[in-house]
Structure 1
């Protein structure tokens, strides 16, 4: 794992030297929060404050899903530039570049967590739980990002061009994000869509985030099963695709 942590440091340095890599975890979620909070808060929940109580914790989950696309696109770009040829000559495990890139995204997920809660607080949202629950929410968010990240890593390994990775990943993630209870309650949806929303991993994880940050009951079972299943399926798929490419 030492090689993975070394390459994780490489990813963190890239973020530090290129602040534009943080647009998707700072500017983008802020725009979503402001747009949905001010435009739809009154129509959906009756007033902005009531809507923010659901929107701020809920928006954390789709934010890390969309942020995870950067790992797949970055790895695909590295394949095109020949960086992996250098990695093969180094005394590190073959899986180290993939694991290192995924671990580096933890920094981006935590930045998204802080930014969203900060902007939400400025808009009127208040956390109704203690520091332990807030730390637990950050941990759940990181694990969520790390699990879904393997989907984008797999896409990055099989896609021919880096600029196609995000398009494919968006097409995969949109049914999870918008057919969930992040923006509107599931009970307002048509029956067939409500059935999907209630078992959707984004909805289940959104309920976890709301429970931890709003001081409500929390059930981790459904979300944990989804995250484990995603990692168990896409981690080996990503590794197999990676070995075929390099």
Structure 2
């Protein structure tokens, strides 16, 4: 019995046994929650092949109309071996397919996907293992006790066309993030963001910003240090 579908097969067996005993169809359907067509289908299979026919049949096609003969697969692999022995030249699926076309030996030339699959099955092509994408984090050579923040901003357009500014600051040691969204990038908006950062992530001993921040946030050459002094004054209060 197919263990994966054991409950279903048990119902088929029960239905066929009831049929053999002469139980009416209407009564069988009261005992087994299935349709009349289901019942007659399995009754016919049981009558033809017995209990073995009640197991789930393999739904895979018995024959694939697009399957290539073994001699075609062997030919592809032989061409690959010969190309590899050459001192120069390409050995990939495209080169193999090009040679098959030039030979005019096959009525139907296999595609690149089939050729690559046959080469992999024969161990002639190594499956590339994708390396996990590395996430870049700045790695300042500072004492871990020093709080080092990097901050920047980006502008985005919401659905409907409204423009907003997202300010984000990252602690380069812990990777903790603080982000706020404002309608502008004025001094007041930036000050609010900076004070929130330093209240939650700590006062930075070494703040850093991008060039765009210095030019547009405050219009000063050293806005971070100006904000730092302002934050110290506010936090003291």
TM above 0.5, yes or no, is no
Q: Which has the larger Rg?
A: 2
**TM-score, reference length from structure 1:** 0.22
Q: Which has the higher contact order (CA 8 A, sep 6+)?
A: 1
Bigger share in helix: 1
TM-score by length of 2: 0.23
